Structure 1
Amino acid sequence: MYLLRPTTIRNKKTPNRAILFMVLFFGALTIVAAQNKVKDSLTKVLHEVYAQKNFSTSDTTYINLLNKLSAEFAYHTSDSLKILTTQALKYSKNSNYKKGESEALMNMGIYHSNMGESSRAIAHYKEALKIANDTDNDLIKLKIINVLATEYNWAGDYTKSLDLFLEGTELAEKSGHERRLSILLENLANLYASQKDYEQAIIFYERVKKLNEDIGNDISKAQTMCNMASVYADMGKFEYAMFNVNASIPIFENNHILDWLAYSYEVKGKTYLRQKNYKWALHWYNQCNLLHKKINDDRGKIDLLNGMAEAYYGMNEIELSEKYAQESFEISNKINFPEGIQKCAMTLYRINKSKNKYSEALKFHEIYQQVSDTLSRDENKRGLAMLKTKIDHEKEQEALILKNQQALTNQKYVVYGAIVIILIFIVITLLIHRGQKIQKKLNVKLQNQKEDLLKREIELNEINLTKDKLFSIIGHDLRGPIGALQELLRMLKVGEIQQSEFMDFIPKLRDDVDHISFTLNNLLSWGQTQMKGAVTKPTAFGLEELVTDNINLLSEIAENKSIKMINRISDNTIIWSDVNQIDIVIRNLISNALKFTPEHGMVTIDAQEGKDHWEISVRDSGIGMDLVTQDKLFNANSNHTTYGTNNEKGTGLGLSLCKEMVEKNNGKIWVESALRIGTCFFFTIPKSQKDYKNVG
């Protein structure tokens, strides 16, 4: 749920154009807006501003009114929302009005969110937030943070959603925006509720409810009670659910808030459904369905239709149940809403199973399982668990303080004689029990120490092997170039060679230094992984830009050998991995290809999309290799150095390092090669991978 109420601002200038279009537009708009007093009022003010003698489309008051009116269409008419937002965005850019531009981009994001285009919505929200950060308006920043966090929640990215909600609450507390704080806290509660952590959700809802009571906002209080009712229904606390939803409905009816009224009817229907009172559940679902014909809220309609399907299923009216479940499933797929797909798939599985359509039932069960696996990823819940742990810890501390205070009070009334007798008995019992526990702990401790010693012995052996390999590579590939540089400097110093002669060695010295730098980078990366110091931190990023950066980095080497490097990776190749580790893999593979490709050759980098991964290839037109050499390539215990077509040196470490980095990111690497034809290295990497009513 969004409550977008931009503030009106005054301005400056003079105009004269697009009058005929705007008169016709607002004439049609007034017919639609007659259904709502707020739209009616805003349309009237727009007419008045437009009719002023010195009207200008760069007038910030006019732009603010456009943004405000467009927000009123968020759950009613998507076409009107888009038209008004497009106009506001155009006029804001023309007049360099940053606040208007950020609000228009936010409203455009809402439009795309309503259309189920989550990635486009997120892109608009991010752009809006970037512009808003250049202003001093904390209120617009809080609005954008809220809708962006909500979109991440709908998209199933709970960690990013949580981070943004926490960032928003911190800003709201700092800037004193209590209404925005209550909205963000409520959506944070919704985030926990969507994860079925109902107890934690109720804690946040109670805090929001008290905050709204202090503010004195009845509508906000009704929204919170409606969300609480939904959670109580899911918890099976039906009396609490009915109390809260019944208290919220009259407020929405009196204020003509149709989207929230529809939601409250749906929650009441769900409460009856959970109690298996299917007749009354359908009554309230039908009331909700009538309101949905007047608003545009596909996400809300998913829960409504699926609830109706469950109610009809409970009444054994299977055909009607399948009709509503299928409609809900189609809307969920249309707007790409994972949680909706999950619910509808389970309902359709049960329906088809009851009709003995086992192949269809299996299909929907597989869809349900696939979406469930995606939504329950550990990394999405980690941030929520951290916050919950912090809150639980604070509660335990408060409980402990209260408990200690109570114990001190009670001690004053205890008879000292009885205390002495009881304490003696307790001490004796505890000493016996403690002795037994100490003996058990000592046994466990000794066993753990033995296991730790064995583990450390193994780790020490591995570290020694790593050390030996590091010294071997340093002695083999670094000492030579460094020694040559020392000797040249000595000869120059003592006059054995002239400065002009020394300058002739500069290109060679530069190649040696580049080789030393490349070798050191690989050594440090490999050594860190062997010493267990490298932590894989996967993020979503575009591979095309990373490949382009490495091509630019190695372009001079390619130019020296007249080798053409081709990047065929598209800009939509988004992967989920550690950017620094994949950077090392790409650089080593391209460097290898350049090393073993003769002059006037070609190196091509490409990507093929799989079901849940990308297959990356680095192909060269070089000398190739036999099967024996291929079998030794990824051996971690080998540091065999091979020279390139121009006698370029290598560490023999790069490919084993590539193998480690790829496998740390849940991929695999292999090679295909033929002598005198060329070599192609392949590796795979994972792809980068939205029922509660949210307030805006």
Structure 2
Amino acid sequence: MRKTIITLVLLGTIVLSGQTSKKDSLEKQVSKLELLTNTNERDTVHISNLMDLALNLRYYNTDKLLSLSTKVLNLSKNIQYKNGEINSLIGIGTYYSDQGMHLKGINFYEKALFISKETKSNKQILRCKNSLAGEYSYLGNYAKALSGYLDAIEYATLIKDKLMLSILNENIASLYVSQKDYEQGLHFYKKVKKINEEINNPVYSAETMSNMASAYADMGKLEYAMFNVNASIAIFEKEKIMDWLAFAYEIKGKTYLKQKKYKWALFWYNQSEMLHETLQDDRGKIDLYNGMSEAFLGQHKDSISQKYALEAFALSTQLKSKEGIQKCAKTLYKVNKNKKDFATALTYHELYQKISDTLSTSENQKGLTMLKTKIEHERQKEELIETNKKALATQKYYVYGALFILLIFIVITFIIRRNEKIQKNLNIELNTKRQDLEKSEINLREINSTKDKLFSIIGHDLRGPIGAFQGLLKLFKNGEIGQEEFLDFVPKLKSDIDHISFTLNNLLTWGQSQMNGANTKPSITPLENLVKENMNLLSETAINKSITLVNQIPNDTISWIDSNQIDIVIRNLISNALKFTPENGKITIGVMEKNNQWEVFVKDTGIGMNTDVQKQIFAKNSNITTYGTNNEKGTGLGLSLCKEMVEKNNGKIWVTSRLEKGSCFYFTVPKAKKNYKRTA
């Protein structure tokens, strides 16, 4: 093991030496070309070579990238060399992008795109579209970024530019991975791998593998991550692609960090850090320093961990990277907590919580926006296809008309029949488009309704208990209440936290069923087990209200259901019964055999409900919520969620109730049959 480490350290030294020599070589070439500027001001080859060197200096000398790009822009304008103007504007935009000045970057990319369209430079148009989409991604405008990438993909497909198709699909994959939608991200990465195989360039394949390794590491699929990053490192070392090699080393360090192998994680992070000494890639350093900070914290080297976390914090603040600040704040909170500097720890914890809440809300909105953008893009694409079809049909019509002039008698008959057919087809198409538009409108309304309802419940029913908890902690921290008074609130706090947990569980289940469609996977399940588990889970609440829970479910009540969905139904019904049953009450859970079904009931001696409420509680868009006998609060989602889950399992749910006498909720589920098999 020691021999292996020594060999790898020597390799890192050799790579760093190669990196330094590459930087020196590039700067020498620039110096030689600059000496020729005065005598070659009209030489487009000279200008192009100068611009290529400027772009190669991106990660070595960013100031040189800006100065050379500006010089190339002036030279190109003097001789009206449009391709030079486009490349120099892209170079200047890249400089501002790397500095975190994304609006300035967008300004220069748009200028480059305008000239590219004027000169009909297809490859340059694609470069500009890709760069603009990337800037909108950095700004957090994921909808515009996704729309830009999809538009560029159509353009690249039209001109058959495989290289840009590879780049654009990979950027879309990274966009989905940043939203933690790993399934969709990996779908695009696999498309990129196929395109790279056609291009047959090992460096492009290595870049994709390193990005996939990062996604697999975040997913926890560490074997896949290690396989991909090792393969990419071998190629980058062979080809001496230093900026990507630094990134690949950092990903390998992250993979070991996920395994809590801190020593090996730091070894690979150090390899990346050595390369970054001669690179100017602040965005890449944020993840590197955050990773090193976590690894040193895992080794209990808090002072070193704090050093790297603060460096990452400074870079994240400079580049306005919320994700970077979030990771730094979390580590700095832990470090200061270990040092017992609770005031500083609390400051970083509050910063971490604030950014987490912002990112969570932002990610929900971005996810919905990206979904709408994709739907809109597909709709526009379908309309374009239909328009093209109509245009082709019209062209054929004119061709036939010109030919039919020679055959007068045939013309009259053919035109009449053809017009009838065209009219019929147009009516069918018009009706189809109208139906599609109505469906799209309904879908968009449902999406907006779902989003509004989620945000309303989160802001209304979760923020209250959390705000009360924060206020109590603040009072305790400021010394306005003592320890004994604080402890008096502990039962209330536990009740609030239980309420938040229960509410979140319902929200997540309901949100999944509304936005993604919950898949029902039935299997052979004993009902008595589900009832026992939920009675045990809610027993403490029953004891606190002195309510007797009676289980009349016999053994061998084998059913054919999705156990997770029916578990939610049983838990909600028992929880509701506890909520609306006064102290010293009684709740009975039982079952009756009805032909091929089990009829389960949850009966309470609670306050009951009138007929109007009974008609509304199961409605899909109902948000009826009332306070329980001890002022318990609900979200109004529980019973509509129960109805949805029961119906997905081929059952029905209903209620009978009398005011001040109690309520009894019934639902049915299928019995298990011998010929039932587990679904895949």
TM-score (norm 2): 0.51
Match of 2:149 in 1: 165
Match of 1:339 in 2: 323
CA distance, structure 2, for counterparts of residue 316 and residue 148 of structure 1: 43
Structure 1 residues 126-163: Cα deviation after superposition (integer angstroms, max 9, x where no partner): 22222222221111121122222222222222122111
Match of 1:16 in 2: none
Match of 1:244 in 2: 228
Structure 1 residues 126 and 371: alpha-carbon distance in aligned structure 2, compared to 1, 3 A threshold: farther
Aligned Cα root-mean-square deviation (Å): 3.7
Once the 2 structures are TM-superposed, how far is the Cα of residue 347 of structure 1 from its aligned partner? 1.6
The 3-state SS of whatever aligns with 1:134 is helix
Q: Is the 8 A contact 1:200 1:388 kept in 2?
A: no
Specify which of 302, 308, 312 is matched with residue 318 of structure 1.
Answer: 302
Match of 1:103 in 2: 87
The reply to whether residue 35 of structure 1 matches residue 19 of structure 2 is no
Match of 2:77 in 1: 93
Structure 1 residues 389 and 49: alpha-carbon distance in aligned structure 2, compared to 1, 3 A threshold: same
The reply to whether residue 327 of structure 1 matches residue 308 of structure 2 is no
Structure 1 residues 363 and 40: alpha-carbon distance in aligned structure 2, compared to 1, 3 A threshold: closer
Match of 1:256 in 2: 240
Match of 2:452 in 1: none
Q: Is the 8 A contact 2:256 2:265 kept in 1?
A: yes
The reply to whether residue 384 of structure 1 matches residue 345 of structure 2 is no
CA distance, structure 2, for counterparts of residue 91 and residue 106 of structure 1: 15
Structure 1 residues 407-446: Cα deviation after superposition (integer angstroms, max 9, x where no partner): xxxxxxxxxxxxxxxxxxxxxxxx9889x9xxxxxx99x9
Match of 1:303 in 2: 287
CA distance, structure 1, for counterparts of residue 596 and residue 114 of structure 2: 63
CA distance, structure 1, for counterparts of residue 82 and residue 352 of structure 2: 44
Structure 1 residues 184-224: Cα deviation after superposition (integer angstroms, max 9, x where no partner): 11011111111111111111111101110111011000000
Structure 1 residues 95 and 380: alpha-carbon distance in aligned structure 2, compared to 1, 3 A threshold: farther
Match of 1:234 in 2: 218
Structure 1 residues 169 and 37: alpha-carbon distance in aligned structure 2, compared to 1, 3 A threshold: farther
The 3-state SS of whatever aligns with 1:133 is helix
Match of 1:68 in 2: 52
Q: Is the 8 A contact 2:262 2:295 kept in 1?
A: yes
Q: How do 1:541-556 and structure 2 match up within 5 A?
A: none
CA distance, structure 1, for counterparts of residue 29 and residue 160 of structure 2: 28
Q: How do 1:178-577 and structure 2 match up within 5 A?
A: 178-376=162-360, 377=362, 378-386=364-372
Once the 2 structures are TM-superposed, how far is the Cα of residue 61 of structure 1 from its aligned partner? 2.1
Q: Between the two proteins, what is the percent identity of the paired residues?
A: 44
CA distance, structure 1, for counterparts of residue 622 and residue 265 of structure 2: 64
Structure 1 residues 115 and 59: alpha-carbon distance in aligned structure 2, compared to 1, 3 A threshold: same
Structure 1 residues 247 and 37: alpha-carbon distance in aligned structure 2, compared to 1, 3 A threshold: farther
Structure 1 residues 453 and 379: alpha-carbon distance in aligned structure 2, compared to 1, 3 A threshold: closer
Once the 2 structures are TM-superposed, how far is the Cα of residue 311 of structure 1 from its aligned partner? 0.2
Specify which of 117, 120, 123 is matched with residue 101 of structure 2.
Answer: 117
Match of 2:515 in 1: none
Higher relative contact order (CA 8 A, sep 6+): 1
CA distance, structure 1, for counterparts of residue 83 and residue 265 of structure 2: 45
Counterpart residue type for residue 35 of structure 1: K
Counterpart residue type for residue 382 of structure 1: L
Once the 2 structures are TM-superposed, how far is the Cα of residue 451 of structure 1 from its aligned partner? 8.2
Structure 1 residues 537-559: Cα deviation after superposition (integer angstroms, max 9, x where no partner): xxxxxxxxxxxxxxxxxxxxxxx
Q: Is the 8 A contact 2:170 2:188 kept in 1?
A: yes
Q: Which consecutive residues of structure 1, in runs of 5 or more, have no partner in the other structure? A: 1-30, 393-430, 437-442, 456-696
Structure 1 residues 135 and 256: alpha-carbon distance in aligned structure 2, compared to 1, 3 A threshold: same
CA distance, structure 2, for counterparts of residue 450 and residue 238 of structure 1: 45
Structure 1 residues 371 and 129: alpha-carbon distance in aligned structure 2, compared to 1, 3 A threshold: farther
Counterpart residue type for residue 365 of structure 2: E
CA distance, structure 2, for counterparts of residue 219 and residue 127 of structure 1: 30
The reply to whether residue 77 of structure 1 matches residue 69 of structure 2 is no
Structure 1 residues 39 and 176: alpha-carbon distance in aligned structure 2, compared to 1, 3 A threshold: farther
CA distance, structure 2, for counterparts of residue 41 and residue 164 of structure 1: 38
Match of 2:485 in 1: none
Counterpart residue type for residue 150 of structure 2: L
CA distance, structure 2, for counterparts of residue 293 and residue 241 of structure 1: 26
Q: Is the 8 A contact 2:23 2:57 kept in 1?
A: no
Structure 1 residues 637-682: Cα deviation after superposition (integer angstroms, max 9, x where no partner): xxxxxxxxxxxxxxxxxxxxxxxxxxxxxxxxxxxxxxxxxxxxxx
Structure 1 residues 96 and 351: alpha-carbon distance in aligned structure 2, compared to 1, 3 A threshold: same
Q: Which consecutive residues of structure 2, in runs of 5 or more, have no partner in the other structure? A: 1-17, 379-593, 600-610, 624-680
Q: Is the 8 A contact 1:162 1:383 kept in 2?
A: no
Structure 1 residues 254 and 45: alpha-carbon distance in aligned structure 2, compared to 1, 3 A threshold: farther
Once the 2 structures are TM-superposed, how far is the Cα of residue 45 of structure 1 from its aligned partner? 8.9
Q: Is the 8 A contact 2:250 2:288 kept in 1?
A: yes
The 3-state SS of whatever aligns with 2:280 is coil
Structure 1 residues 600-623: Cα deviation after superposition (integer angstroms, max 9, x where no partner): xxxxxxxxxxxxxxxxxxxxxxxx
Q: Is the 8 A contact 2:19 2:242 kept in 1?
A: no
Structure 1 residues 426-470: Cα deviation after superposition (integer angstroms, max 9, x where no partner): xxxxx9889x9xxxxxx99x9579989999xxxxxxxxxxxxxxx
Counterpart residue type for residue 137 of structure 2: N
Structure 1 residues 242-297: Cα deviation after superposition (integer angstroms, max 9, x where no partner): 10001011111111110000000000000000000000000000000000011110
Counterpart residue type for residue 385 of structure 1: L
How many residues are treated as equivalent by the alignment?
379
Once the 2 structures are TM-superposed, how far is the Cα of residue 352 of structure 1 from its aligned partner? 1.8
The 3-state SS of whatever aligns with 2:22 is coil
Q: Is the 8 A contact 2:143 2:373 kept in 1?
A: no
Q: Is the 8 A contact 2:207 2:232 kept in 1?
A: yes
Structure 1 residues 153 and 391: alpha-carbon distance in aligned structure 2, compared to 1, 3 A threshold: closer
Structure 1 residues 354 and 37: alpha-carbon distance in aligned structure 2, compared to 1, 3 A threshold: closer
The 3-state SS of whatever aligns with 2:169 is helix
CA distance, structure 2, for counterparts of residue 157 and residue 82 of structure 1: 26
Structure 1 residues 122 and 450: alpha-carbon distance in aligned structure 2, compared to 1, 3 A threshold: same
Counterpart residue type for residue 92 of structure 1: S
TM-score (norm 1): 0.50
Counterpart residue type for residue 22 of structure 2: Q
The 3-state SS of whatever aligns with 1:35 is helix
The 3-state SS of whatever aligns with 2:144 is helix
Q: Is the 8 A contact 1:209 1:224 kept in 2?
A: yes
Once the 2 structures are TM-superposed, how far is the Cα of residue 382 of structure 1 from its aligned partner? 2.2
Once the 2 structures are TM-superposed, how far is the Cα of residue 389 of structure 1 from its aligned partner? 8.0
Counterpart residue type for residue 371 of structure 2: A
Higher helix share: 2
Counterpart residue type for residue 75 of structure 1: Y
Which deviates further from its counterpart, 190-199 or 41-50? 41-50
Structure 1 residues 116 and 391: alpha-carbon distance in aligned structure 2, compared to 1, 3 A threshold: closer
Match of 1:527 in 2: none
CA distance, structure 2, for counterparts of residue 359 and residue 191 of structure 1: 37
Structure 1 residues 322 and 75: alpha-carbon distance in aligned structure 2, compared to 1, 3 A threshold: same
